[in-house]
Amino acid sequence: MTEILPFLKELISAPGLSGYEDPAANIIADKWRPLVHEISRGTLGSLQGLRRGTGKEPRPSVMIATHMDAIGLMVTGITDGFLRITRVGGVDVRVLPGTPVNVYATGAGATVIGASRAATSTGEPNVRLPLPGVVAQPSAQLLPEDARDGPVALEHLFIDTGLLPQKVSELVRVGDLVSFAQPPAQLSGETLTGHSLDNRASVAALTVCLEELQARPHVWDVWAVATSQEEVGAIGAAGSAYQLRPTIAIVVDVTFAKGPGASDWSTSPLGKVPTIVIGPNIHPALHKSMKELADKLEIPYTLEYTPSHSGTDGWATQVAAEGIPTLVIGLPLRYMHTAVELVALKDIQRAGRLLAEFIAKLEPDFMDKIVWDK
Amino acid sequence: MKQLIQKLTETFSPSGFESAIREVIKQEVQPLADEVRVDALGNLIVRKGAKAKNGKRIMLAAHMDEIGLMVSHIDENGFIRFSSIGGIRTGGLLSGRVQFTNGTQGLIGVERDLFAVKSPTFSQYYIDVGATSAKNCPVKIGDVAAFKRPFLELGQRLVAKSMDDRIGCVVLIEALRALKTSPHELYFVFTTQEEVGPRGAATSAFGIDPEIGLAVDVTLTGDTPKSKYMAISLGKGPAVKIKDTGMLADQHIVEWMCSTAEKKRIPYQREVLDGGSTDAMAIQMTRSGVLAGCLSVPCRYVHTPSEMVDYEDVQNSVKLLVALISAPVNL
Amino acid sequence: MPTIGNAQLKLLEKLCNACAVSGDEGEVRSIVMEEIKDHTDEVRLDAVGNVLATKKGSGKSPSTSLRTSQSHLRVMLTAHMDEVGFMLVADDGEGLFRFETVGGMDVRQLPGKAVVVGREHVPGVIGARPIHLTTAEERKQKISLDALRIDIGPGTTKVKPGDWATFATRFQRSGPSVLAKALDDRLGVATLIELIKHAPPEIDLLAAFTVQEEIGLRGSRVAAYTFNPDIGIALDSTPANDLPDWEGEENITYNTKLGLGPAIYVADGSTISDPRLVRWLAETGTASKIPYQFRQPGGGGTDAGAIHKTRGGIPSISVSVPHRYTHSAISIARIDDWKNTLSLLQAALANLSPDLLATERA
Mean of per-residue pLDDT scores for chain C: 95
Check whether residue B128 and residue B270 sit in a common domain: no
Report which of C232, C209, C302 is spatially closest to residue C74, judged by C-alpha positions: C232
Check whether residue A199 and residue A102 sit in a common domain: no
DSSP string, B238-272: -EEEEE-SS-B--HHHHHHHHHHHHHTT---EEEE
Instruction: Tell me whether residue A374 is in a domain.
Output: no
Check whether residue A93 and residue A193 sit in a common domain: no
Q: What percent of chain C has pLDDT over 70?
A: 97
Check whether residue A152 and residue A188 sit in a common domain: no
Q: Does A303 touch chain C (CB under 8 A)?
A: yes
A89-112 tens-digit pLDDT: 999 999 999 999 999 999 887 765
Check whether residue A215 and residue A339 sit in a common domain: yes
Instruction: Tell me whether residue B168 is in a domain.
Output: yes
Name all domains of chain C by residue range, CATH numbers in brackets: 6-83+181-357 (3.40.630.10), 85-167 (2.40.30.40)
Which of A145, A180, A215 is the last residue before a domain boundary? A180
Sequence-separated contacts (24+) of C247-256 with Cβ below 8 Å: C250/B75, C250/B76, C252/B72, C252/B73, C252/B75, C252/B81, C253/B72, C253/B73, C253/B123, C253/C296, C254/C296, C255/C295, C255/C296, C255/C298, C255/C322, C256/C293, C256/C295, C256/C296, C256/C320, C256/C322
Check whether residue B61 and residue B73 sit in a common domain: no
pLDDT score of B82: 96
Check whether residue B253 and residue B295 sit in a common domain: yes
Helix (H) or strand (E) holding A41: strand A38-41
Q: Which residues contact C144 (CB under 8 A, 6 or more apart)?
A: C107
Check whether residue B317 and residue B244 sit in a common domain: yes
Report which of B326, B28, B322 is spatially closest to residue B166, judged by C-alpha positions: B28
Residues C181/C82, Cβ–Cβ less than 8 Å? no
pLDDT class of B119 with cuts at 50, 70, 90: confident
pLDDT score of A229: 98
pLDDT score of C347: 96
Domain count, chain A: 2
Check whether residue A220 and residue A352 sit in a common domain: yes
pLDDT score of C353: 83
- Residues in chain B with CB shorter than 8 Å from the CB of C294 are 141-142
Instruction: Tell me whether residue B303 is in a domain.
Output: yes
pLDDT score of A34: 97
pLDDT score of A116: 41
Check whether residue B60 and residue B84 sit in a common domain: no
Instruction: Tell me whether residue B155 is in a domain.
Output: no
Q: Is a pLDDT exceeding 50 seen at residue A121?
A: no
Instruction: Tell me whether residue B154 is in a domain.
Output: no
Instruction: Give the whole-angstrom CA distance, residue A178 versus residue A157.
Output: 14
pLDDT score of A119: 34
Instruction: Tell me whether residue A214 is in a domain.
Output: yes
pLDDT score of A205: 98
Instruction: Give the whole-angstrom CA distance, residue C166 versus residue C27.
Output: 12
DSSP state of A264: S
pLDDT class of C28 with cuts at 50, 70, 90: very high
Check whether residue A214 and residue A202 sit in a common domain: yes
CATH of the domain at B120: 2.40.30.40
Instruction: Give the whole-angstrom CA distance, residue A72 versus residue A137.
Output: 17
Instruction: Give the neighbor-by-neighbor strand order of the sheet with C51-55.
Output: C42-45, C51-55, C203-210, C73-80, C231-239, C316-323, C263-265, C293-295
pLDDT score of B121: 83
- Residues in chain C with CB shorter than 8 Å from the CB of A305 are 87, 89, 100, 161-162
CATH of the domain at A356: 3.40.630.10
Instruction: Tell me whether residue B133 is in a domain.
Output: yes
Instruction: Give the whole-angstrom CA distance, residue C94 versus residue C156.
Output: 8
For residues A195-200, give the mean pLDDT: 97
Catalytic residue among B194, B195, B271, B307: B194
pLDDT score of C158: 92
pLDDT score of C346: 96
Check whether residue A220 and residue A339 sit in a common domain: yes
Report H helices in chain C.
6-17, 26-36, 136-139, 183-197, 218-227, 275-287, 304-307, 335-350
pLDDT score of C69: 58
Instruction: Tell me whether residue A368 is in a domain.
Output: no
A141-166 tens-digit pLDDT: 899 888 888 899 999 999 999 999 99
- Residues in chain C with CB shorter than 8 Å from the CB of A369 are none
Mean of per-residue pLDDT scores for chain B: 96
Which of B112, B147, B182 is the last residue before a domain boundary? B147
Q: Is a pLDDT exceeding 60 seen at residue A1?
A: no
Q: Does A20 touch chain B (CB under 8 A)?
A: yes
Instruction: Give the whole-angstrom CA distance, residue C128 versus residue C107.
Output: 12
Q: Is a pLDDT exceeding 80 seen at residue A168?
A: yes
pLDDT class of B263 with cuts at 50, 70, 90: very high
For an interface test with A, the pick among C22, C25, C222, C228 (most A C-beta atoms closer than 10 Å) comes out as C222
Catalytic residue among C13, C194, C213, C214: C213
pLDDT class of A136 with cuts at 50, 70, 90: very high
Based on the residue annotation, tell me whether B194 is a catalytic residue of this protein.
yes
Instruction: Tell me whether residue A331 is in a domain.
Output: yes
Instruction: Tell me whether residue B84 is in a domain.
Output: yes
Which of A153, A180, A207 is the last residue before a domain boundary? A180
Instruction: Tell me whether residue A161 is in a domain.
Output: yes
B174-222 tens-digit pLDDT: 999 999 999 999 999 999 999 999 999 999 999 999 999 999 999 999 9
For residues C49-68, give the mean pLDDT: 81
Q: Is a pLDDT exceeding 60 seen at residue A114?
A: no
pLDDT score of B117: 63
Who among C275, C297, C309 is closest to B199 (CB)? C309
Q: What percent of chain A has pLDDT over 70?
A: 95
Instruction: Tell me whether residue B54 is in a domain.
Output: yes
Q: Is a pLDDT exceeding 50 seen at residue C7?
A: yes
Check whether residue A161 and residue A214 sit in a common domain: no
pLDDT score of B122: 85
Check whether residue A40 and residue A105 sit in a common domain: no
Check whether residue B31 and residue B112 sit in a common domain: no
pLDDT score of B89: 87
Nearest CA in chain C to B197: C270
Which of A180, A203, A232 is the last residue before a domain boundary? A180
Q: Is a pLDDT exceeding 90 seen at residue C62?
A: no
What letters, b where the CB count within 10 A reaches 16 and e where it falls short, cover C270-299?
bbbbbbbbbebbbebbeebebebbbbbbee
Rounded to a whole number, what is the distance in Å from the CA of B174 to chain C's nearest CA?
25
CB contact under 8 A, B271 and A174: yes
B25-64 tens-digit pLDDT: 999 999 999 999 999 999 999 999 999 999 999 999 999 9
Report which of B177, B172, B188 is spatially closest to residue B37, judged by C-alpha positions: B188
- Residue A7 half-sphere exposure, CB side, CA atoms within 13 Å? 25
Residue B256 — φ and ψ, nearest 5°? -60, -45
Check whether residue A155 and residue A234 sit in a common domain: no
- Residues in chain B with CB shorter than 8 Å from the CB of A44 are 250, 284, 289
Q: Which of A296-310, B86-100, B168-182, C334-348 is least confident?
A: B86-100
- Residues in chain C with CB shorter than 8 Å from the CB of B38 are 360-361
CATH of the domain at B229: 3.40.630.10
Check whether residue B133 and residue B189 sit in a common domain: no
Check whether residue B178 and residue B258 sit in a common domain: yes
Q: Which residues contact C4 (CB under 8 A, 6 or more apart)?
A: C335, C338, C339, C342
Bridge partner list, C316: C232
CATH of the domain at A174: 2.40.30.40
Residues B280/B247, Cβ–Cβ less than 8 Å? yes
Check whether residue B186 and residue B298 sit in a common domain: yes
Tell me which residue range forms the domain holding B313.
2-66+161-326
Sign of torsion over alpha carbons B52, B57, B58, B59: positive
Q: How many CB atoms lie within 10 A of CB B35?
A: 9
Instruction: Give the whole-angstrom CA distance, residue B8 versus residue B14.
Output: 13
pLDDT score of A334: 96
C147-172 tens-digit pLDDT: 999 999 998 889 999 999 999 999 99
The CA distances from residue C161 to A50, A264, A286, A306, C165, in Å, are 37, 13, 18, 11, 11
Q: Is a pLDDT exceeding 80 seen at residue A81?
A: yes
Instruction: Give the whole-angstrom CA distance, residue C82 versus residue C216.
Output: 11
Q: Which residues contact C124 (CB under 8 A, 6 or more apart)?
A: C114, C115, C116, C117, C150, C151, C152, C153, C159, C165
The residue type at A73:
L
Instruction: Tell me whether residue B25 is in a domain.
Output: yes
A221-234 tens-digit pLDDT: 999 999 999 999 99
What letters, b where the CB count within 10 A reaches 16 and e where it falls short, cover A187-198?
eeeebbbbbbbb
Instruction: Give the whole-angstrom CA distance, residue A255 versus residue C210.
Output: 29
Check whether residue A227 and residue A314 sit in a common domain: yes
Domain count, chain B: 2
Q: Does B57 touch chain A (CB under 8 A)?
A: no
Q: Is a pLDDT exceeding 70 seen at residue A118?
A: no
Helix (H) or strand (E) holding B8: helix B2-9
Check whether residue B38 and residue B75 sit in a common domain: no
Tell me which residue range forms the domain holding A144.
72-180
Check whether residue B269 and residue B181 sit in a common domain: yes
Residue B168 — φ and ψ, nearest 5°? -65, -40
Report which of A27, A40, A6, A24 is spatially closest to residue A72, judged by C-alpha positions: A24
Q: What percent of chain C has pLDDT over 90?
A: 88
pTM over 0.90? The answer is yes
Residues C126/C113, Cβ–Cβ less than 8 Å? yes
Bridge partner list, C113: C126
Rounded to a whole number, what is the distance in Å from the CA of A76 to chain B's nearest CA?
6
pLDDT score of C283: 97
Instruction: Give the whole-angstrom CA distance, residue C285 versus residue B83.
Output: 25
Check whether residue B80 and residue B39 sit in a common domain: no
Q: Is a pLDDT exceeding 70 seen at residue A113?
A: no
Residue A295 — φ and ψ, nearest 5°? -65, -45
Q: Is a pLDDT exceeding 70 seen at residue C77?
A: yes
Q: Is a pLDDT exceeding 70 seen at residue B114?
A: no
Chain B, residues 272-301, CB within 8 A of chain A, namely: 272, 274, 284-285, 287-291
Check whether residue A171 and residue A267 sit in a common domain: no
Instruction: Give the whole-angstrom CA distance, residue C327 versus residue C332.
Output: 11
Burial of B289 (0-12, 13-18, 19+ CB in 10 A): buried
Report which of A88, A234, B203 is spatially closest to residue C216, judged by C-alpha positions: A234
